[in-house]
A = this chain, B = another copy of it.
Amino acid sequence: MIKERLARLREAMKEAGIDCYIIPTSDYHNSEYVSDFFCVRRYFSGFTGSAGTLVVHADKAALFTDGRYFIQAAKQLEGSGITLMKMGEPSVPELTEYVERELPEGCNIGFDGRVITAGDGLDYEKTAAKKGGKVIWNLDLAEGIWEERPKLSFTPVYVLEERYCGESTARKLERVREKMKEEEAEVHILTTLDDIAWLFNLRADDVKSCPVFLSYAAVTRGEAYLFAGESAFGSEVREYLDRNQITLRPYDDFYNFAAGLKNRKEKTGLLICEKRINYRLKKEIGDEVRIIDKANPTTLMKAVKNPAEQENLRKAHLMDAVAVTKFMYWLKKNVGKMPMTEISAARYLEELRAKSPSFIEPSFSTICAYGPNGAIIHYGATEENFSEIHAKGMLMVDSGGHYYEGSTDITRTFILGEITEEMRQHFTLVARAMLRLKSVRFLKGCKGVNLDFAAREVFWEKGMDYKHGTGHGVGYLLNVHEGPNSFRFKPAAGSDENWEFEPGMVTTDEPGIYIEGSHGVRIENELLCCESVKNEFGQFMEFEDLTYVPIDLDGIDASSMDEREKRVLNQYHEFVFEKLFPFFEGEELAWLRNATRRI
């Protein structure tokens, strides 16, 4: 089947004069998660992982993916004739190297310029030019081949009321325009879906777990344009847009608008974040526009949650904590006594969350990983492939919910019975790292690179590490991974490090340990940045816990913790009990009291 699809693709390539066609995993908006319409790489390769790039030549094809997917990809590519390129392995070239090496003289590179970032597109341009060819970027070759392709998803758009979002879109637009004035920009274009949803206080359900909607936006000193699926906008939302002087235009109109910028006036100043736009937009804008290449002002604005959002988040996290803690009670009480699988447990947790009237959907696909599965960082049980849960070892559950009061992200690892001494030491180490970071005090001006050490120090001391960031920003009823704030010791490739911790930023704190074939532990709280004392040394900052769920004391070896760590854990559990006890009674309450006891 894949071979047939590739044969048809190669015919289309030949017709279009394309010698090397590149299919990444992306949508038009550089989103982390994409809807079915955009799963072109999956269609042509059969590989279903969340990351990978397919490169097709007339006589060969190669799929580039990372370590998480080597096994899965090898299996899914079998018989397709596609070569698996294991990224990061010493003998495997980088994608760009490969494209250059395998491009014959005088040949052309093709891709849909809307799903390739401007930066990558410019690199391919150079590569093609070196070989005396060019890039052909205005064709989506899946059109006409992929017959049952899903439609672009335009789900109903709704207005997020001000009691939830805390700031009117009028005021947000005002702040964006102030920034534009500062940067001497006449126009600002946004293409990232979370920025647009935040700016206009609109939400929808176009992508699973991402309450955004397919759209582009443009803001001028006096006007605002929203390019989106018009069918998704009911009369109420249209009135809202009118009231706010926002003009709704068809989604497809956007590139014409962008191409028209050069005719506005000589050297129009366009504020745009070049590393987040796609190649087609870059081409449409052309060289006659004066580009002011900066992060979207909305990126920092939305990362700093306003007082209403902060207050709402405390409510969302309380609802969430009640659900997760009741899940913990249920799990520890019933494991081994009733049939239980990773799937059924995750479903039960979702049911508990769904009891809150303002629960919308999970904020990402729950990771419910039993035993050795906990060692697979991006594990996802499927209906075909899951484990039963028994009364021994550990269960790691990383999950979250979207509520009107905000989004949550929490990981707890639960002890289900007997564990080895190594597991206990690992559990304790992860808890120590999490507790140490969440209790730091620091001077204003610090970034994630300064504070990551607070968690990692106890790992490094033992010659250990975890191969992921210690934490990421979290959107408010938006993407669960949101920049610019994070805890990392090396900034992520392409991340904007031009920020510092500000009161109102929400960041996760989630160190982990992953022992292949044996077990995994991760413990994650969300932290709200707040002001602490201010004195002659400056403004100090600290973190408030937004997560109110016990850390399983059955995994803790108190003798491996120092006094400060124990104090922080005890204070946290006291705080958790205070928050949760009104929602518990009887046997459950007694259990909660014990689960949050002093050590």
Which of A446, A447, A460, A461 has the most chain B CB atoms closer than 10 A to its own CB? Answer: A460
- A443, chain B: closest CB distance, angstroms: 6
Distance, CA A449 to CA B440, complexed state (A): 16
**Range of interface residues on A (Cβ < 8 Å):** 20 to 34
Residues on B with C-beta less than 8 A from A450 are 449-450, 452-453, 489
Contacts of A417-451 to chain B: CB distance below 8 A: 440-443, 445-447, 449-451
Is A441 touching B454 in the complex (CB atoms < 8 A)?
no
Knowing A450-B450, A454-B453 touch, does A441 contact B465 (C-beta < 8 A)?
A: no
Distance, CA A460 to CA B532, complexed state (A): 11
Is B489 touching A460 in the complex (CB atoms < 8 A)?
no
- A513, chain B: closest CB distance, angstroms: 11
Is B452 touching A537 in the complex (CB atoms < 8 A)?
no
Distance, CA A374 to CA B460, complexed state (A): 36
Is A489 touching B446 in the complex (CB atoms < 8 A)?
yes
Is B457 touching A443 in the complex (CB atoms < 8 A)?
no
- Copies of this chain, complex-wide, total 2
Interface of A is mostly: mixed
Is A457 touching B440 in the complex (CB atoms < 8 A)?
yes
- A596, chain B: closest CB distance, angstroms: 25
Chain B residue, CB-CB nearest to A445: B490
Which of A457, A464, A535 has the most chain B CB atoms closer than 10 A to its own CB? Answer: A457
Instruction: Tell which of B460, B537, B563 touches A442, judged by Cβ atoms closer than 8 Å.
Output: B460
Distance, CA A535 to CA B462, complexed state (A): 11
Is A461 touching B489 in the complex (CB atoms < 8 A)?
no
Residues on B with C-beta less than 8 A from A533 are 463
A538 within 8 A of B: yes
A562 within 8 A of B: yes
Per-residue CB proximity of A346-364 to B under 8 Å, as 1/0?
Answer: 0000000000000000000
Residues on B with C-beta less than 8 A from A460 are 440-443, 540
- A153, chain B: closest CB distance, angstroms: 40
Distance, CA A107 to CA B254, complexed state (A): 48
Residues on B with C-beta less than 8 A from A454 are 453, 457
Is B537 touching A465 in the complex (CB atoms < 8 A)?
yes
Contacts of A277-327 to chain B: CB distance below 8 A: none
Per-residue CB proximity of A481-506 to B under 8 Å, as 1/0?
Answer: 00000000110000000000000000
Knowing A450-B453, A454-B457 touch, does A535 contact B463 (C-beta < 8 A)?
A: yes
Is B537 touching A463 in the complex (CB atoms < 8 A)?
yes
Residues on B with C-beta less than 8 A from A538 are 465
- A204, chain B: closest CB distance, angstroms: 40
Is B461 touching A443 in the complex (CB atoms < 8 A)?
no
Chain B residue, CB-CB nearest to A540: B463
Contacts of A560-575 to chain B: CB distance below 8 A: 562-564
- A238, chain B: closest CB distance, angstroms: 47
Instruction: Tell which of B449, B456, B457, B464 touches A449, judged by Cβ atoms closer than 8 Å.
Output: B449
Distance, CA A583 to CA B334, complexed state (A): 71
Residues on B with C-beta less than 8 A from A445 are 489-490
Distance, CA A559 to CA B532, complexed state (A): 27
Per-residue CB proximity of A453-474 to B under 8 Å, as 1/0?
Answer: 1101100110111010000000
Is A465 touching B443 in the complex (CB atoms < 8 A)?
yes
Contacts of A13-36 to chain B: CB distance below 8 A: none
Per-residue CB proximity of A520-550 to B under 8 Å, as 1/0?
Answer: 0000000000001101011010000000000
Residues on B with C-beta less than 8 A from A562 are 562-564
- A565, chain B: closest CB distance, angstroms: 11
Chain B residue, CB-CB nearest to A464: B537
Residues on B with C-beta less than 8 A from A442 are 453, 460
Question: A-B pairs with the 9 shortest C-beta distances?
Answer: A465-B537, A450-B489, A463-B533, A453-B453, A441-B460, A449-B449, A442-B460, A450-B453, A445-B490
